[in-house]
Amino acid sequence: MKTYSLEELTDKHIGKKGTKKRDEFENELRLDLLGYAIKQARKERNLTQEQLGELVGVKKAQISKIENSTTDARFSTIMKVFEVLGASVKFSIELNDKKLAY
């Protein structure tokens, strides 16, 4: 039985890197992971979505949408959520095959 790497399966079923479909898939995956991280941090701090929303200055529904990746939240809102949760945020940006960390 032949085994396949995750990369091979993703190439086959989603598309190769650089294709529109693959880029959209990877972007959605990043948003899902971001939402998951926010949800986990909120729960670790024993906050409800409503309480976090009050601290951030948004409604509970907005926090729910961010956690479930169903909205394109403003960057400033995401940063405020992490600030309220006491989380440090690090960025990694890749330009022309060069990786920059901030």
How far apart CA 61 and CA 34 sit, in angstroms, is 17
**Domain total in the chain:** 1
pLDDT value at residue 101: 58
CATH number of the domain that 11 lies in?
A: 1.10.260.40
Q: Is residue 54 part of a domain?
A: yes
Q: Is residue 1 part of a domain?
A: no
How far apart CA 58 and CA 74 sit, in angstroms, is 11
pTM above 0.75, yes or no: no
**What DSSP assignment string belongs to 36-66?**
HHHHHHHHHTT--HHHHHHHHTS-HHHHHHH
pLDDT value at residue 67: 93
58: domain range?
A: 6-101
Residue-wise pLDDT for 16-75, tens only, equals 988 888 888 887 777 788 899 999 999 999 999 999 999 999 999 999 999 998 777 888
Q: Which has the closest alpha carbon to 74: 87, 57, 90?
A: 57
pLDDT value at residue 58: 95
pLDDT value at residue 83: 93
92-95 vs 98-101, strand pairing mode: antiparallel
